[in-house]
């Protein structure tokens, strides 16, 4: 008993009160000495693992501090904290931090992944949703109006019978969706205030048509689709915060308008874009992408656009692969936008494949330069084995491979049966070959044109063996998954990046 008593005292002494921890703008600064104590003694703690040099972390910092201050002013039991993961490497390893920023929510000491947005409003909505009931009970008109006015999008369930299947489906969806606040009411006064005459769901929003109703077939699936589609404005401005909502939504056709917000024609073009968007509501998502933002340059590269091409438009269809479409005219008017979108939907406009012009010296060096226009002629030449590296100019692994691949070209330059080639896969696309990461190395075998992907070591010896064994050494297994590090470095699809 004396031992247990002494142990309990020792444990209590080691706990660190959150009141004693250093704060920066109401955000607790955690380290290996105080982390466990703060997590143990507080019911709810959201922790950001960051790196001082990380651009996204710097962008998050003022929003994170704003959310922390708001919670502190409310006297909330929810705390926000941060850990410099470059200094506290043991903590970062323990909680499996693989990128920055990584946010984890601790409820009674147990961590879960944060998957909300990165504005103060998003952070507050998410933590409050996780710590409260899935939907706020609205007893009065005052309660309902207060909730309605609290956010850009609010969903209220009107159910006389809250034990009905529809009401249960509503509450289940409310528990699963963290982006927006939910309310539920049985009050006759609230029904009357919003002209609701039967059980259903109303989505209130501070933009576009202001309100959307769902009164039939209220199932979880239908509710999720209803909310996903109607919670976005007619025209969505692309950002880190909206990216997941855009690409994770129900609508698979996206019309993208690349333009500078500084341009004198900005308002006029967006208004034309918005007018056409009304015609395709629930069918096509209209998205603006600000070309003034440096991070968006890679997205433009993906579509073969340069800054001087703005304003420019591209339409994509999200299937297993992303299919791109290019308008036949560079003019952007209400009529041209309508014609372009309708033409894609009707199948009258063919998909667009990027290609560069064939360089005049494409075959001057031992490593041949391929583009979309000459790829089939060279790579599918059945008289030769053709090894092709698909690369991206910005890819770190690709840059490391350059001297090795050049040496490989030198080694086989006099072999009449082998061609060593490369293609910039960010500027050239092929109908028959899809590239999902960089670098990707494929052997197009002579006689049959069988394609074998290489997944061995990226050394001169390894690549030579791959060629000399007719694609057996280092051969990638069918549907083989890309290494996690490689995937982060060499994304070929902007859905996996900022777009």
Catalytic residue annotation:
54, 57, 395, 398
Neighbours of 46 (CB within 10 A): 25
Measure the CA angle with vertex 418, ends 412 and 424; round to 5°: 90
Q: 255 with 312: CB under 8 angstroms?
A: no
The sign of the torsion formed by the CA atoms of 348, 351, 357, 362 equals: negative
Using CA atoms, how far apart are residues 460 and 29, in angstroms rounded to an integer?
Answer: 48
Q: Is 46 helix (H, G, I), strand (E, B) or coil?
A: strand
Strand blocks (E) in 85-164: 102-107, 110-113, 136-137, 153-158
- Per the DSSP assignment, residues forming a β-bridge with 105 are 46, 112
DSSP states along 223-267: HHHHHHHHTS-SEEEP-HHHHHHHHTSS--EEEEEEE-TTSTTHH
Q: 487 with 437: CB under 8 angstroms?
A: yes
Using CA atoms, how far apart are residues 264 and 267, in angstroms rounded to an integer?
Answer: 8
Strand blocks (E) in 333-444: 367-370, 385-391, 418-424, 440-444
Q: 162 with 186: CB under 8 angstroms?
A: yes
Return the DSSP state at 437.
B
CA nearest to 392, candidates 472, 496, 318, 289: 496
DSSP states along 62-76: HHHHHHHHHHHHHT-
Distances (CA, A) of 226 to 81, 201, 222: 35, 10, 6
């Amino acid at each position: 008993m004396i031992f247990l008593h002494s142990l309990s005292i020792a444990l209590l002494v080691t706990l660190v009160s959150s009141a004693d921890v250093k704060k920066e703008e109401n955000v607790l600064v955690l380290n290996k000495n105080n982390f466990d104590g703060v997590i143990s003694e507080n019911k709810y703690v959201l922790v950001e693992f960051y790196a001082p040099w990380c651009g996204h972390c710097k962008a998050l910092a003022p929003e994170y501090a704003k959310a922390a201050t708001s919670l502190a002013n409310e006297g909330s039991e929810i705390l926000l904290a941060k850990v410099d993961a470059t200094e506290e490497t043991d903590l970062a390893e323990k909680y499996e931090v693989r990128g920055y920023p990584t946010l984890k929510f601790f409820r009674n000491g147990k961590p879960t992944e944060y998957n909300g947005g990165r504005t103060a409003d998003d952070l507050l909505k998410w933590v409050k949703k996780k710590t409260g009931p899935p939907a706020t009970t609205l007893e009065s008109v005052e309660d309902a109006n207060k909730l309605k006015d609290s956010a850009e999008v609010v969903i209220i369930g009107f159910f006389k019978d809250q034990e009905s299947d529809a009401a249960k489906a509503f509450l289940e969806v409310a528990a699963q969706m963290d982006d927006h606040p939910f309310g539920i009411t049985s009050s006759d006064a609230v029904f009357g205030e919003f002209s609701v005459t039967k059980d259903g769901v109303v989505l209130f929003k501070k933009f576009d048509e202001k309100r959307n109703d769902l009164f039939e077939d209220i199932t979880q699936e239908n509710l999720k689709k209803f909310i996903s589609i109607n919670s976005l404005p007619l025209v969505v401005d692309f950002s880190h915060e909206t990216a997941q909502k855009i690409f994770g939504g129900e609508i698979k056709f996206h019309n993208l308008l690349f333009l500078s917000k500084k341009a004198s024609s900005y308002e006029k073009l967006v208004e034309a874009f918005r007018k056409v968007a009304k015609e395709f509501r629930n069918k096509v998502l209209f998205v603006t992408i600000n070309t003034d933002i440096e991070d968006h340059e890679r997205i433009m590269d993906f579509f073969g656009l340069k800054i001087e091409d703005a304003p420019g438009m591209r339409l994509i269809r999200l299937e297993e692969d992303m299919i791109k479409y290019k308008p036949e005219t560079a003019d952007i008017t209400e009529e041209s936008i309508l014609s372009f979108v309708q033409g894609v939907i009707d199948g009258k406009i063919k998909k667009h494949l990027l290609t560069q012009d064939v360089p005049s010296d494409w075959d001057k060096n031992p490593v041949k330069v391929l583009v979309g226009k000459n790829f089939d002629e060279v790579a599918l030449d059945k008289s030769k084995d053709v090894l092709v590296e698909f690369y991206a100019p910005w890819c770190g692994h690709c840059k490391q491979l350059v001297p090795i691949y050049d040496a490989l070209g030198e080694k086989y330059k006099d072999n009449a049966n082998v061609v060593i080639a490369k293609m910039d896969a960010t500027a050239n696309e092929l109908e028959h070959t899809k590239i999902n990461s960089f670098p990707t190395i494929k052997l197009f075998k002579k006689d049959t044109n069988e394609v074998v992907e290489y997944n061995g070591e990226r050394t001169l010896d390894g690549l030579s063996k791959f060629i000399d064994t007719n694609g057996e050494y280092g051969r990638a297994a069918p549907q083989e998954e890309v290494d996690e590090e490689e995937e982060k470095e060499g994304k070929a699809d902007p859905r996996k990046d900022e777009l």
